[in-house]
Structure 1
């Protein structure tokens, strides 16, 4: 529990549950920042404690002040040419970041202990969680400056739907949330930034371009890194093993294709941001073949809730 802004001496996984069980998204961001700093500073020493029962909620605590609708009922956001459109786009980004906070702490709490992941896994996703909290706070402040507020417009929870669909499989969670949704965010952000500039809103454009965009590349990179790790661990190989053959690299890519086909409905949508995706650690062989997927089934469906 957070007391006076400082975490009591508990494991990181237990601390992550504090965020997930906090309903107010501003408090989620604040508490998450405290936990992240304490983990990174060594004040929280253990990632998890053996024998401690961890009950991860199926759905994190959320306030009910945001009207939720289905993705198909979401109004068009526009192209940032008007104040109304800029408000709608930023509101959508704020909502997405509110879920990104929960997604980051959920992967720590749900899978870290269960999959006996190494300490670097926890550190990577603590950094992601801290970034997402900062993104939420900065975008919410910008939305207020634009004359609106979080909750003024409807939103949908497509991102958490995909989290629910991948709640039993860390490999699937990494592939769908970080290598599909977050990578899709990398694809669309340059256009979004350009639209804000054309609309005369350089402040929002700068926030997206100089703060959020580069950090989102690292979030996608975390997904790619730990997807590779799990594939290699199953072969008793280290992530940094210089002896990984080209055939094994091909196997990892094929596993990614199979995972996405099993857990995501529909093709990935080009055009792809090849430069940003390369910086995140995966090239066209990972995603271009998936642009032709046309399958039905009980899978995640792409919605407008792409990660920014």
Structure 2
């Protein structure tokens, strides 16, 4: 690992995180970089004169056996120790990719799309949260008698990242407004299952740390998706800084029109990049807290969910 350089930019530091194989070290390094950005030690988001290559796939250890999502074993309902281990292992794996996704969006798109400083700060905070989630849940998995890598996993999240690697709008829509929003849908049921299985420690961790922070992560995706859509319609307004998404449309008396344009763009992207319809039931309260209501996702949903539909994270 290269020594930390006090003069490096945020994108250079993000690339160091992406090129770190061990997920525990990745989380630790990411936390350090995030702290330095947030306290002002790292001052520049990127060097405008440098075009730094972003890896197609972040460095990863090979201790996790990867299988197709269709070949993943059933996780169960947290009623047994084996089921609880499997569910926590699945979430830990998801969080390991969430770390990489957060740093990748900074390194891949920040300079390319000339994003404002607030964009970098929002996703630095997301990255720091995801690293903390990984570390806490991996430690909990150890307490349950397993370690990360003990079970197979799939890399569906990174498959979506590859598919959206050329377009920030698509990345925000699929990773943050579809996949992360799906996490908001299933987490309450997952928490209930751990409580019903007598595992209040895991339930508390998911309920008090992971769940509320995942709402803010989804909110960041929605926020910047809206911002990019509106910037494309009025570049001068958004050229230098983050305009209020509520204010800028209202000033022109076209908030409804602008919102419809944004939602139509979202629908078009999801239909292009996401296979199949979205799966209800939806966590409407959490999605609303993240900044998007039913008009975003219900037109993309299965018309009627099966009455015995199971929520398995």
Give the number of equivalent residue pairs: 294
Aligned 8 A contact 1:2 1:8 in 2: no
The match for 2:158 is 160
8 Å contact from structure 1 (residues 7, 34) kept in 2: no
Residue in structure 2 matching 1:290, options 281, 300, 305: 300
Which residue of 1 is the match for residue 16 of structure 2?
A: 18
Kindly provide the CA deviation profile for residues 2-57 of structure 1, in whole angstroms up to 9, marking residues without a partner as x. 64xx5532110010000000000000000000000000000000000011131100
Q: Distance in 2 between matches of 1:248 and 1:67?
A: 45
Residue 281 of structure 1: aligned partner: 291
Deviation at 1:292, TM superposition (A): 4.2
CA distance in 1, matches of 2:177, 2:197: 30
Match among 273, 276, 280 for residue 263 of structure 1: 273
TM normalised by structure 1 equals 0.93
Aligned counterparts of 1:188 and 1:45: Cα–Cα separation in 2: 38
Give the corresponding residue for 1:144: 142
Q: Does the 8 Å contact 1:7/1:38 carry over to 2?
A: no
Query: What are the equivalent positions in structure 2 for 1:39-78 lying under 5 Å apart?
Result: 39-78=37-76
| Residue deviations 1:256-290 (CA, integer Å, cap 9, x gap) | 10111111110000000000000000000000000
Q: How does 1:1-308 map to 2 (within 5 A)?
A: 3=3, 7-236=5-234, 237-238=237-238, 239-240=243-244, 241=248, 242-243=250-251, 244-292=254-302
Alpha-carbon displacement from aligned partner over 1:111-160 (angstroms, at most 9, x marks no partner): 00000000000000000000000000000000000010000000010000
Q: CA deviation at 1:78?
A: 0.3
| Deviation of 1:245 (Å) | 2.2
Structure 1 gaps of 5+ residues are 294-305
Cα separation, 1, equivalents of 2:31 and 2:5: 11
CA distance in structure 2 between the aligned counterparts of 1:80 and 1:262, rounded to whole angstroms: 35
TM-aligned CA deviation for residue 225 of structure 1: 0.2
> Any idea what the Cα deviations from partners look like across 1:57-115, whole Å, max 9, x if unmatched?
00000000011111111100000000000000000000000000000000000000000
CA distance in 2, matches of 1:37, 1:227: 25
Alpha-carbon distance, 1:224 to partner? 0.2
Aligned CA-pair RMSD:
1.5
CA contact (8 A) 1:7 1:35 kept: no
Contact persistence 1:67–1:151 (CA under 8 A): yes
Q: Which moved more, 1:239-248 or 1:213-222?
A: 239-248
* Secondary structure at the counterpart of residue 265 of structure 1: coil
Moved over 2 A (4+): 242-245
